[in-house]
């Protein structure tokens, strides 16, 4: 029986905002990309720098219902008011990974032809730092030789952050290992990554040691070397370094939002709402009003000081509220599509893309990506998951593969499972079944069942 549960978002902020100018949308995006711990640090920074801004002692109710229809604001159609404050005076926009790569490319002194190839390649590098196009595709688009594209890509792959422009995890790790000191652990680590990465991920150290003719302790040392010195997402590392923080290994289990199941359906609650309750300091607010009524009684310096800080405080409050409204709107849309997955498990995952969310909300796909990148949600079960999980269309198929294997009497080959899934309506190639099985750390048919146990 299908259902469309009612969802409300508990924001602790009033989404009824005045419309303002587009540059402020850029400031919203600057806050939107921050995970919770970095956002809290940004709020604390603003509180320490702006005497006209303070925490509200009586924050808005955490149980307030929210609807994306309230206010009817556009996320892009903002107009200025008479208190306009230059958003760039004190708050610089962060440099994105693509902008950083383009600036690095500009400094290379390449020919016009190679520079054009480089720009096209960088356009295909996603937020995690991976190349999403093949050299053949780019060569066809630019009427260039594949060898020319490969040469420029090799140059981009030497840019910071190390590993950027890789086409898969194996290449990403190798790019990082090859610029490190060529010690024994590094040399073995490169062999492992090149030939036994799935075994390494599955911790099949004995098999790897036997295949490569080394000892198990040597394999384990190389494995630890990779874990300690390499990172599979160079884009995330770049953003973390830009924000002055560290990559989030210890923060992975800290949710940015909590999804609760209620009698009416689901509620979306942003974490640490108390930190979002800000207001203009009463003294500065009163002083600003007095100055507007009797400007002649104050020096230009005093008027500029009060106007600057009060305007900045109002802007930050508005931008933070807009950031939270946008983030909660996106999460609400995800829950509306994936409520069965949240309630019943991975077999019930529905097809969902960030482009679909963007179309539903009337915003850009890049805004959705910024809002969700590096963030986590706590499900009603208490499980904390990355938002990327809601877009993983392999989960229902993996769940079915897991069920087929659990029910088998004689081990099914990947080809047999592919045929069964196709007969059930899931058209899938044998190599895809193999990929999913390996990602699930399930051995092949030859290593399952009575014959494998006899060995």
Summarised one tens digit per residue, pLDDT across range 262-320 is 888 888 888 888 778 899 988 988 888 888 888 777 788 888 888 888 888 898 898 89
Check pLDDT > 70 for residue 153: yes
Lowest-pLDDT choice from 12-16, 338-342, 366-370: 12-16
Per-residue pLDDT at 243:
57
CATH topology of domain 97-156: Arc Repressor Mutant, subunit A (1.10.10)
pLDDT tier, 71 (very low <50, low <70, confident <90, very high otherwise) = very low
Instruction: Tell which wins on pLDDT, 427 or 325.
Output: 325
- Distance between CA atoms of residues 204 and 212, nearest Å: 13
pLDDT tier, 331 (very low <50, low <70, confident <90, very high otherwise) = very high
Instruction: Tell which wins on pLDDT, 239 or 336.
Output: 336
Check pLDDT > 90 for residue 19: no
Check pLDDT > 70 for residue 65: no
Check pLDDT > 60 for residue 139: yes
Check pLDDT > 60 for residue 345: yes
Per-residue pLDDT at 58:
56
Per-residue pLDDT at 300:
81
Per-residue pLDDT at 23:
56
pLDDT tier, 183 (very low <50, low <70, confident <90, very high otherwise) = confident
Q: Which two tokens stand for residue 128?
A: 């995690």
Per-residue pLDDT at 135:
92
pLDDT tier, 249 (very low <50, low <70, confident <90, very high otherwise) = very low
Average pLDDT over residues 241-246: 54
> Which listed CATH number (3.40.1390.10, 1.10.10.60, 1.10.3720.10, 3.40.50.150) goes with 395-454?
1.10.10.60
Per-residue pLDDT at 301:
85
Lowest-pLDDT choice from 20-24, 111-115, 223-227, 296-300: 20-24
Check pLDDT > 70 for residue 21: no
Average pLDDT over residues 32-56: 86
Per-residue pLDDT at 165:
93
pLDDT tier, 8 (very low <50, low <70, confident <90, very high otherwise) = low
Check pLDDT > 70 for residue 390: yes
pLDDT tier, 241 (very low <50, low <70, confident <90, very high otherwise) = low
Buried residues in 28-46 as b, exposed as e (16+ CB within 10 A): bbbbbbbbbebbeebbeeb
Average pLDDT over residues 198-211: 85
Check pLDDT > 60 for residue 7: no
Mean of per-residue pLDDT scores for the chain:
77
Per-residue pLDDT at 408:
76
Per-residue pLDDT at 82:
39
Share of the chain above pLDDT 70, in %: 80
């Amino acid at each position: 029986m299908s259902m469309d549960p009612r969802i409300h978002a508990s924001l602790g902020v009033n989404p009824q905002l005045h419309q303002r100018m587009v540059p402020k949308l850029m400031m919203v995006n600057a806050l939107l990309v921050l995970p919770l711990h970095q956002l809290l640090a940004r709020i604390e920074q603003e509180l320490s720098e702006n005497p006209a801004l303070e925490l509200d002692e009586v924050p808005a109710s955490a149980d307030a219902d929210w609807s994306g229809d309230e206010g009817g604001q556009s996320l892009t159609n903002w107009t200025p008011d008479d208190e306009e404050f230059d958003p760039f005076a004190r708050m610089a926009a962060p440099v994105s990974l693509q902008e950083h790569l383009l600036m690095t490319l500009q400094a290379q002194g390449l020919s016009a032809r190679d520079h054009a190839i480089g720009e096209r390649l960088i356009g295909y590098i996603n937020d995690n730092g991976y190349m999403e196009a093949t050299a053949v595709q780019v060569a066809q688009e630019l009427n260039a030789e594949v060898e020319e594209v490969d040469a420029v890509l090799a140059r981009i792959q030497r840019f910071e952050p190390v590993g950027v422009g890789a086409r898969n995890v194996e290449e990403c790790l190798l790019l990082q290992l090859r610029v490190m000191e060529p010690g024994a652990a590094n040399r073995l680590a490169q062999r492992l990554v090149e030939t036994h990465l799935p075994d390494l991920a599955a911790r099949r150290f004995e098999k790897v040691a036997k295949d490569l003719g080394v000892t198990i302790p040597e394999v384990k040392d190389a494995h630890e070397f990779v874990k300690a010195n390499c990172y599979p997402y160079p884009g995330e590392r770049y953003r973390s370094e830009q924000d002055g923080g560290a990559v989030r290994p210890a923060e992975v289990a800290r949710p940015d939002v909590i999804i609760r199941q209620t009698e009416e359906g689901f509620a979306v609650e942003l974490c640490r709402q108390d930190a979002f309750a800000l207001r203009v300091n009463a003294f500065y607010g009163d002083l600003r009003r007095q100055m507007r009524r009797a400007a002649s009684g104050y020096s230009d310096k005093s008027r500029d000081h009060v106007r600057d800080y009060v305007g900045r405080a109002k802007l930050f409050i508005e931008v933070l509220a807009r950031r939270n409204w946008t983030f909660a709107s996106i999460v609400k849309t995800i829950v509306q599509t994936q409520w069965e997955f949240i309630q019943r498990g991975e077999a019930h995952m529905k097809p969902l893309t960030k482009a679909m969310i963007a179309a539903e909300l009337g915003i850009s796909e890049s805004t959705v990506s910024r809002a969700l990148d590096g963030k986590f949600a706590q499900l009603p079960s208490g499980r904390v998951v990355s938002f990327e999980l809601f877009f993983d269309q392999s989960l229902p198929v993996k769940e079915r593969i897991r069920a087929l294997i659990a029910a088998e009497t004689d081990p099914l080959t990947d080809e047999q499972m592919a045929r069964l899934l196709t007969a059930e309506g899931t058209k899938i190639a044998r190599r895809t079944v193999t990929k999913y099985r390996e990602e699930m750390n399930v051995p092949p048919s030859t290593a399952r069942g009575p014959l494998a146990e006899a060995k």
